[in-house]
Structure 1
Amino acid sequence: MSKKQKDIQQSLFGDEREYFNRKRTWTATKHRIMLRYIQAFCYNLGGSQGFQSNYLNYVDGFAGEGKYDEGIGIENFIGKSDFWNRYKTDFLDSDGSPLIALKLAKIFELEKRVTLRCFFTEEDKERNQKLNINCSLIGEGLSYKIYDYQRFDKALVQIMNELENYPTLFFLDAFGVQGVTFEQICSIADYVSKNKGELFLLFHNRAVARNAGFYKTDYQDYKKQKTAETYTQHLTKLLGDNSDLDWKPRWLEYQQEEQKFEKWALKYFKDRLQKDSCFKGIASFEIKEEYNDTRPQYHIVVGSNHPQKALGVFLNDFVYQENELLFYQDDKSGKYHKFMSQEWERQNNERISTIKPQIIDILRSKNQDMTLEDAITFIILEIGNLGYLSRAKYREIFLKLYEEKIIEARELGARGKLTLKNFIRVVK
């Protein structure tokens, strides 16, 4: 990257050194979710049963240095978890996603559960060198590979050839809108559809809007036009071939309305992945810094081979739990960590009120008998906004709909109570 390109990138996204050296709240959220999801992925698919494998893969496509100079959000989380306290873990606040994956791999090895094979890429030469050092400190005896410093798209072909058809979890925490194209995402989807796994991809809302903002119907001079074309081409590659025919008119239409274009672009991206890729399910969730953040910088888009369990069960409630953590607030002294229960309950009630009519419409359009458990999963996947409510909250909505005789059930148990295994349908 030239000095001019670096200067432009820093003006668009802030000081990149600070981004990589100090873990932010939203990064800690991503790491906690990946910590839990890698564990769930390996516990579910790792083993000797027919649908399981003794080897699983984890691909971290933008690994960074592997750790941060300053970190938050891991040690306290681990310390308060009954599950994680069963292990003698050495997770640190400063751990990045590569070290989190390797430390999990070490746990799985000790349990003799599964071998987690880790693959890391990092384009920047200096960060790549530090990644090698940081991983070597804990990676002895583990199966991992760090590719020579190069763009992820250059390494992807080699990575694909070395995955050996094992189920694979891809984590692409790309910066801005560069680093991975729609075509490459589809090649990952093709692998996942054949061999099981998921893709977690960072969708940088604000960067999408910034890159679109370079587009004009006319330019003052040739130099500005060429600069604009560079940035708009990056966005087009991310959203898919010929997507500029769709996004450019939308940008001109929505640019005066805050957030409208980036919301449209996220939906467009998810819809196109659902239609054009081999993923069997697509969903996303917001990464917020504060509970009342009305414009989060990021979404994570997730593509899955088995969305019912991976997204509708595991990930939905992981994200919901992360949203709840946003409602803990330190007082001015920093000594007391208070849970804002009223604000949390208010948000849940508002979301229940908002989503209840949507659920009725979705069920009516489906018009099919299904168990209550499957209906909850179906609604989560149809809405596509993971963690919006927990499965327990969705169940409360369904029970209310049953009381209101909007849905009916059959084959109730001896007590006449609606359970997760009962079949339901909307009353005509």
Structure 2
Amino acid sequence: MAQDVNNFFEEQKDWSRRKLAIVGSYLAGFSKILGNRSFQQCVYFIDGFAGAGQYKDGSKGSPLLSAELAFRYQNEQKPYRINCINIEENEDNFQNLVSVTAPFNGLVVNYSGTFSANLDLILNQIGNCPGLFFIDPFGVKGLDWVDIMKITHRRAPTDLWIRFDHRNVRRLSGFFDSGSRGADSKFQNLQNLYGVHRPDILSQLLHGNTAEERINKALNLYVRNLEEEFIKSRNTGYSAAFPIVSLGGETKYHLVFAAAHQKAAMLASKTVYSAERNRTLERQDYLQKKSGQLFLFSPEPTEDEFFVFIVEQLRSDIVRLCAGQQLSREEVFMLLIQDNGKKWFGRFSDKHLNSALTLLESEKTPIIQSKNGPNSKDKTIFTFR
């Protein structure tokens, strides 16, 4: 375990706030879309490593934030409801979790024990209702591939957000064939994480010549495995990772998304962008306050300059990806967030894409030759030169 659980809940860090903002915003969109369409009109939010529910500084954790959203929807008499399920192993944290979620009786169920030990019970409980799983462990212990497979092979709509601790993976990978005490059991945690039975094969898959290469291999292997599991189960799947970076500029971990449906992938990308769009300005403010000095020359582009930059980059990639094809806006969006290591996931908004499409149809020799609707509609079909 990378960090003591009790100490973790002393104070909420800036990167934790952004992680929870992403997951909370996604839950709102997920429940609205699937709650309105679902026959049962029920949506489940499963918090696999729920923690104490609230930090000691008063900041709200994911169980409290999801419960408040469920309560608000109930008061607003939405035609659907969010049911919150929390799992927590640490007894002290569990007691605090029960206490802070007590006002939401009927909307929240708390289970004591490990995520793995409770998973079969929970899968049976949620049945055929849509489920959003938030799996946020310390390190990688308890995040076993056998459990992930049970989730991805559900027949009902199922999306996941997973905290991927690349630093812990790197640390544990060093125990392969090291001969140190307890090395085999420590490396076994990685085998459980990836679902790879032979340690020598996993070590080869994770090997890289530089730290950056090893991190990328570890992350990409996990993302690829998630996507492939959804494809096996549903014949379609998408997974991508987004770095969660502190205001000081350090990548703390990655938030990995996975789902079967491309609408979910699009919602996830838009949600990440919306939550992270002000991070450069927040970081500049943080560095300014830390140094105690005003920046005479801004090290970051203005919001307008950055918007234009993103639009121009999108335009260039759309030309490359879509030339000679007839595609819907939805298909263009998916091509972008699947391209080149999924670099565009979480990096642009609908407004950026609409502006890029406008550029392509207004050039002297238009790249878009025809369309059957507005740029803002997902079903609009574009014919690209």
TM-score bin (small chain): 0.7 to 0.9
Identity %: 23
Give the drift of 1:171: 0.7
1:154 paired with 2:117, answer yes
Report if aligned partners of 2:326, 2:381 keep a CA contact under 8 Å in 1: yes
Give the drift of 1:204: 1.0
Closer/same/farther in 2, CA of residues 361 and 187 from structure 1, 3 Å limit: farther
Give the drift of 1:261: 0.8
1:184: which partner in 2? 147
Could you say what secondary structure the match of 1:195 adopts? Answer: coil
1:68: which partner in 2? 55
Give the drift of 1:177: 1.2
Alpha-carbon separation, structure 2, partners of 1:348 and 1:205? 30
1:316: which partner in 2? 269
Alpha-carbon separation, structure 1, partners of 2:138 and 2:314? 32
* Corresponding residue to 1:29 among 18, 28, 31: 18
1:287: which partner in 2? 244
Could you say what secondary structure the match of 1:299 adopts? Answer: strand
Give the drift of 1:272: 1.7
Give the drift of 1:267: 1.1
Cα deviation code 1:232-287 (max 9, x no counterpart) = 11112112224744441254433xx1321111111111112222343622222221
1:130 paired with 2:112, answer no
1:232: which partner in 2? 187
* Corresponding residue to 2:218 among 262, 265, 268: 265
Cα deviation code 1:276-332 (max 9, x no counterpart) = 343622222221213x73x51211111223232x221x3222211222221232553
Report if aligned partners of 1:182, 1:240 keep a CA contact under 8 Å in 2: yes
Report if aligned partners of 1:284, 1:299 keep a CA contact under 8 Å in 2: yes
Alpha-carbon separation, structure 1, partners of 2:365 and 2:185? 57
Alpha-carbon separation, structure 1, partners of 2:366 and 2:335? 18
Structure 2, unaligned stretches of length 5 or more?
none
1:423: which partner in 2? 381
1:87: which partner in 2? none
* Corresponding residue to 2:356 among 372, 397, 410: 397
Closer/same/farther in 2, CA of residues 69 and 374 from structure 1, 3 Å limit: same
Closer/same/farther in 2, CA of residues 271 and 355 from structure 1, 3 Å limit: farther
Could you say what secondary structure the match of 2:301 adopts? Answer: helix
Report if aligned partners of 1:250, 1:261 keep a CA contact under 8 Å in 2: no
The one-letter code of the counterpart of 2:367 is I
* Corresponding residue to 2:43 among 21, 36, 56: 56
1:206 paired with 2:159, answer no
Cα deviation code 1:59-114 (max 9, x no counterpart) = 1100001000125xxxxxxxxxxxxxxxxxxxxxx111111111111111112212
Closer/same/farther in 2, CA of residues 404 and 300 from structure 1, 3 Å limit: farther
1:409: which partner in 2? 369
2:35: which partner in 1? 46
Give the drift of 1:418: 6.1
Matches within 5 A, 1:277-426: 277=230, 278=233, 280-290=237-247, 293=249, 295-308=250-263, 310-312=264-266, 314-326=267-279, 327-328=281-282, 329=285, 331-332=288-289, 342=301, 358-363=317-322, 368-382=325-339, 384-385=342-343, 386-402=345-361, 403=363, 405=365, 407-411=367-371, 420=377, 422-426=380-384
Give the drift of 1:119: 1.1
2:204: which partner in 1? 249
Alpha-carbon separation, structure 2, partners of 1:333 and 1:238? 38
Alpha-carbon separation, structure 1, partners of 2:372 and 2:115? 53
1:163 paired with 2:122, answer no
2:157: which partner in 1? 196
The one-letter code of the counterpart of 2:254 is H
Give the drift of 1:373: 4.3
Closer/same/farther in 2, CA of residues 263 and 355 from structure 1, 3 Å limit: farther
Report if aligned partners of 1:369, 1:423 keep a CA contact under 8 Å in 2: yes
Give the drift of 1:170: 0.8
Give the drift of 1:390: 1.9
Give the drift of 1:35: 2.1
* Corresponding residue to 1:274 among 212, 223, 227: 227
1:102 paired with 2:61, answer no
Closer/same/farther in 2, CA of residues 243 and 297 from structure 1, 3 Å limit: farther
Give the drift of 1:120: 0.9
Report if aligned partners of 2:262, 2:334 keep a CA contact under 8 Å in 1: no
Report if aligned partners of 2:326, 2:382 keep a CA contact under 8 Å in 1: yes
Give the drift of 1:130: 1.4
Range with greater deviation from structure 2 (269-278 or 97-106): 269-278
Give the drift of 1:129: 1.4
Give the drift of 1:355: 6.0
Scaled by the length of structure 2, what TM-score is found? 0.84
Range with greater deviation from structure 2 (387-396 or 153-162): 387-396
Give the drift of 1:399: 3.7
Alpha-carbon separation, structure 2, partners of 1:196 and 1:119? 17
Scaled by the length of structure 1, what TM-score is found? 0.76
Closer/same/farther in 2, CA of residues 211 and 121 from structure 1, 3 Å limit: same
The one-letter code of the counterpart of 2:260 is N
Report if aligned partners of 2:176, 2:199 keep a CA contact under 8 Å in 1: no
Matches within 5 A, 1:76-115: 94-113=59-78, 114-115=80-81
